């Protein structure tokens, strides 16, 4: 179909063509008129001069016109003149138009008025020559010739008419050639004047059309992979849904996201990342049918629309085909890349009847597949909507809190088992929610890690905790939890050093709690970081011990200052009795052997305290002794106790009934 632009271009081209034709036609007409005119004047001049020549030399012309025989002298002259200036014939006519003497170029005949010429009579009546140019048929007559009827006057009055037949073929040819050349030059000139701008305009139009086509292509395609882009995906999905509403059936929208693409991009560089995306795009295209849609929505997100399906199973098996295609190893230079993908599926019409809703449903399913550890396929479920809203709200609160540094730190006391002296606090972060409640760290820390906000949060916690600890009496310590993700950027030791420097806290009063997941990779870099921190005088603590993978192997890899036995053991103590007791005692004994202090976490009941009194642990922490509280609520209590120190117990002391002397207010 022609678009309006093409149509107007077509009109312009037609107009330019018509102008050119008009110019050529006009030049042709002018050429013919000019040639005819010149020929007329030339023929007139030739006929006139011939007639005059005859009139001057044929003294008895009046007599001849009157019907007399020419004199011998005149006849000899007339015979000679027959060939003058292409005159191939002549007539001497009386004033009434009756031809008396006629020559056809080879012989002279005495006609004596037997033939009448109306034109000659007219020329006589008008008293001026009548000349016409005619076309003849060789060899009877020349191709072009002129006939001139010329009145011959003697003493001012006409006496006879002399008609001369002049061959003008040669002149005509000559004029025509000269003018043809001129016309050609004129045409070329006009052609140049009109044609060059026309060609330039045509080329520009062509280029513009090409650019327009490219723009239209880019408006509907992804520039890197050539797949449909979001706009075209929505258009095609709309069409497929319209067909669905008429004919029934179902379609599936597969939302695909490459796992850890950013890391791939960081490792392989931009070109490597692009190569991976292009290869995956080709593979997705290869396993789909022509009527299916494959689109790239930007970044590492792809969407495949599978049309004409009859069941959910069909969508699932196709999703598996997409996964196998996309995750097959890809060779890049001398490396093999093995990408994994997460995939979410939404079905029409059950999960949505508009492109937007379907894409959202598929995206939610993809989101679930990522939350479930990536590298898996998930179908959309209606309850995912609410989960997404909650997640969006949480992400917003998290970003706001990072921006405004509006996190809250709570501090949970840690006590020595023997004498139950307070020895410090563990800093535990909370995120204030919009409704005024506090969101616990286990809910938002993984998201902060995913959003790469953990570095900023970690640095803030360190800074705040060190600052708070400087307000506590010495040698009370502060323990800060570190996420493994913080070590990825490689500036933990620097952050620790700057927090210590800014607060002025003695490094011996800071403890950093890490979990064994940090040591999983057995990275030399992490070991170095930990050693650097330890060398500053800061204690390194193995947190949540006993819950991880192969806990024991990590203990000899790094000289930890302390092991914290995970709170799940205390929770199990009341239900599984002796088994938990045995495990806890074994871990304590292990700590002893490795010269590491041991803290038991999650102590909640008097029974647990009683058991721990008999065990050989060093420290305890748990609701029984004190819940995490805001800094403002502990400082007053500590100060009070330190202002009036107990003679035998320098630190804040508690009694076994679980009522600490410091005012500790539970928050969770
Ligand atoms: P964790 O380091 O093992 O901290 C102890 C957790 O046990 C705290 O939970 C604390 O409130 C809870 N707890 C203490 N005593 C008891 C008890 O007697 N019974 C029970 N049931 N729980 C008790 P919280 O504050 O929710 O923190 C959970 C985890 O979040 C922490 O476990 C730690 O791994 C992480 N976390 C907390 N703050 C931070 C932080 O600033 N940065 C990082 N990266 N992680 C943090
Ligand atoms: Mg901890
Ligand atoms: Mg712990």
Count Cβ atoms below 10 Å from residue 434 Cβ, excluding itself.
9
Mean pLDDT of 253-276: 90
Confidence of residue 171 (pLDDT cuts 50, 70, 90): confident
Q: Is 398 exposed, middle or buried (0-12, 13-18, 19+ CB in 10 A)?
A: buried
Quick: pLDDT tens for 147-170. 888 888 877 788 889 888 888 888
The secondary structure of 310-331, three-state, reads CCHHHHHHHHHHHHHHHHCCEE
- Which residues are 375's β-sheet partners? none
Confidence of residue 333 (pLDDT cuts 50, 70, 90): confident
Report the residue among 424, 441, 625, 627 best suited for mutation to probe ligand 1: largest number of ligand atoms under 8 A from its CB: 441
Write down the pLDDT at residue 39: 76
Q: What is the DSSP letter of 156?
A: T
Residue 544 Cα: closest atom of ligand 1:
3
Q: How far apart are CA 103 and CA 84, in angstroms?
A: 13
Does the C-beta of 429 come closer than 6 Å to ligand 1? yes
Mean pLDDT of 336-355: 94
Write down the pLDDT at residue 6: 52
Helix-then-strand count for the chain, H and E: 19, 23
Write down the pLDDT at residue 614: 87
Quick: pLDDT tens for 551-605. 577 788 899 999 999 999 998 887 776 788 888 999 999 999 999 999 999 999 9
Nearest CA to ligand 1 atom 21: 602
Closest CA to 487 of 445, 447, 458: 458
Nearest CA to ligand 1 atom 41: 429
Looking at the predicted structure, is the pLDDT value of residue 25 above 70?
A: yes
Residue 668 Cα: closest atom of ligand 1:
11
Q: Provide the CB-side half-sphere exposure for 573 (13 A, CA).
A: 25
Query: What does residue 414 show for φ and ψ, rounded to 5 degrees?
Result: -120, 130
CATH topology of domain 26-172: Beta-Lactamase (3.30.450)
Q: Which ligand is nearest to the CA of 479?
A: 2
Q: How far apart are CA 202 and CA 501, in angstroms?
A: 73
Write down the pLDDT at residue 665: 29
Closest CA to 347 of 309, 374, 295: 309
Does the C-beta of 602 come closer than 6 Å to ligand 1? yes
Q: Which residue has the higher pLDDT, 381 or 667?
A: 381
The reply to whether the predicted model has a pTM over 0.85 is no
Nearest CA to ligand 1 atom 42: 481
Nearest CA to ligand 1 atom 19: 602
Mean pLDDT value across the chain: 86
Residue 564 Cα: closest atom of ligand 1:
3
Mean pLDDT of 29-56: 77
Looking at the predicted structure, is the pLDDT value of residue 21 above 50?
A: yes
Write down the pLDDT at residue 212: 83
Report the residue among 414, 428, 571, 619 best suited for mutation to probe ligand 1: largest number of ligand atoms under 8 A from its CB: 428
Task: Tell me which range, 32-41, 103-112, 245-254, is most confidently predicted by mean pLDDT.
Answer: 245-254
> Residue 458: in which H helix or E strand, if any?
helix 454-470
Closest CA to 554 of 584, 596, 495, 585: 596
Q: How far apart are CA 268 and CA 261, in angstroms?
A: 10
CATH topology of domain 392-643: TIM Barrel (3.20.20)
Please spell the DSSP secondary structure of 328-351, one letter per residue: S-EEETTEEE---EEEEEEEETTT
Does the C-beta of 511 come closer than 6 Å to ligand 1? no
Looking at the predicted structure, is the pLDDT value of residue 146 above 70?
A: yes
Write down the pLDDT at residue 577: 62
Report the residue among 413, 414, 481 best suited for mutation to probe ligand 1: largest number of ligand atoms under 8 A from its CB: 481
CATH topology of domain 230-382: Alpha-Beta Plaits (3.30.70)
Task: Say what percent of the chain tops pLDDT 90.
Answer: 50
Confidence of residue 8 (pLDDT cuts 50, 70, 90): low
Q: Where are the domains of the chain?
A: 26-172, 230-382, 392-643
Residue 409 Cα: closest atom of ligand 1:
41
To which residue do tokens 């330019």 refer?
A: 16
Q: Which ligand is nearest to the CA of 458?
A: 1
Task: Tell me which range, 37-41, 188-192, 259-263, 658-662, is most confidently predicted by mean pLDDT.
Answer: 259-263
């Amino acid at each position: 179909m022609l678009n309006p632009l093409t149509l107007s271009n077509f009109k312009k081209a037609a107009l330019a063509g018509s102008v050119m034709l008009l110019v050529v036609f006009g030049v042709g007409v002018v050429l013919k008129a000019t040639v005819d005119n010149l020929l007329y004047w030339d023929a007139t001049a030739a006929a006139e001069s011939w007639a005059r020549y005859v009139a001057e030399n044929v003294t008895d012309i009046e007599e001849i016109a009157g019907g007399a025989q020419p004199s011998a002298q005149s006849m000899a002259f007339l015979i000679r003149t027959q060939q003058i200036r292409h005159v191939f014939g002549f007539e001497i006519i009386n004033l009434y138009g009756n031809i008396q003497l006629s020559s056809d170029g080879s012989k002279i005949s005495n006609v004596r008025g037997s033939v009448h010429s109306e034109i000659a009579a007219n020329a006589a009546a008008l008293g001026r020559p009548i000349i016409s140019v005619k076309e003849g048929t060789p060899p009877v007559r020349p191709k072009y010739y002129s006939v001139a009827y010329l009145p011959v006057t003697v003493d001012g009055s006409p006496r006879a008419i002399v008609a001369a037949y002049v061959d003008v073929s040669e002149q005509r040819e000559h004029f025509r050639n000269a003018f043809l050349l001129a016309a050609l030059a004129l045409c070329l000139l006009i052609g140049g004047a009109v044609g060059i701008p026309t060609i330039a305009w045509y080329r520009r139009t062509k280029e513009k059309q090409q650019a327009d086509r490219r723009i239209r292509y880019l408006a509907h395609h992804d520039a890197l992979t050539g797949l449909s882009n979001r706009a075209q995906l929505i258009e095609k999905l709309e069409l497929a849904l319209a067909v669905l509403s008429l004919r029934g059936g179902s379609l599936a929208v597969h939302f695909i996201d490459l796992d850890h693409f950013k890391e791939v991009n960081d490792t392989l560089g931009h070109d490597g990342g692009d190569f991976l995306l292009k290869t995956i795009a080709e593979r997705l295209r290869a396993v789909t049918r022509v009527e299916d849609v494959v689109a790239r929505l930007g970044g590492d997100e792809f969407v495949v629309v599978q049309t004409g399906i009859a069941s959910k199973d069909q969508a699932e098996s196709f999703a598996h085909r997409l996964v196998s295609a996309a995750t097959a190893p890809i060779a890049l230079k001398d490396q093999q890349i093995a990408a994994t993908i997460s995939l979410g599926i939404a079905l029409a019409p059950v999960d949505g009847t508009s492109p937007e809703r379907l894409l959202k449903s598929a995206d939610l399913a993809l989101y679930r597949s990522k939350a479930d550890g990536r590298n898996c396929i998930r179908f959309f479920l209606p309850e995912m909507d609410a989960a997404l809203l909650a997640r969006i709200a949480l992400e917003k609160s998290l970003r706001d809190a990072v921006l405004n540094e509006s996190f809250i730190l709570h501090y949970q006391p840690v006590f020595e088992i023997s004498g139950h002296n307070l020895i410090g606090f563990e800093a535990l972060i909370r995120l204030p929610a919009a409704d005024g409640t506090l969101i616990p760290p286990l809910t938002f820390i993984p998201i902060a890690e995913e959003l790469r906000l953990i570095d900023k949060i970690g640095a803030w916690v360190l800074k705040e905790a060190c600052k708070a600890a400087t307000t506590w009496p010495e040698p009370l310590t502060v323990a800060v939890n570190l996420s493994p993700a913080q070590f990825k950027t490689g500036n933990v030791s620097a952050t620790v050093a700057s927090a210590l420097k800014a607060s002025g806290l003695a490094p011996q009063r800071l403890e950093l709690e890490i979990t064994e997941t940090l040591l999983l990779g057995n990275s030399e870099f992490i070991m170095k970081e930990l050693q650097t921190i330890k060398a500053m005088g800061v204690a390194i603590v193995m947190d949540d011990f006993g819950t991880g993978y192969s806990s024991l192997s990590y203990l000899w890899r790094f000289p930890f200052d302390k092991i914290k036995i995970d709170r799940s053991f205390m929770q199990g103590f009341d239900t599984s009795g002796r088994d938990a007791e045995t495990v806890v005692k074994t871990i304590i004994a292990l700590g002893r052997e490795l010269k590491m202090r041991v803290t038991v976490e999650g102590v909640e009941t008097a029974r647990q305290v009683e058991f721990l009194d008999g065990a050989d642990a060093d420290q305890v922490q748990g609701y029984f002794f004190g819940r995490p509280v805001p800094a403002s609520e502990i400082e007053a209590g500590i100060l009070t106790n330190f202002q009036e120190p107990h003679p035998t117990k320098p630190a804040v002391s508690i009694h076994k009934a679980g009522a600490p002397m410091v005012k500790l207010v539970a928050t969770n």
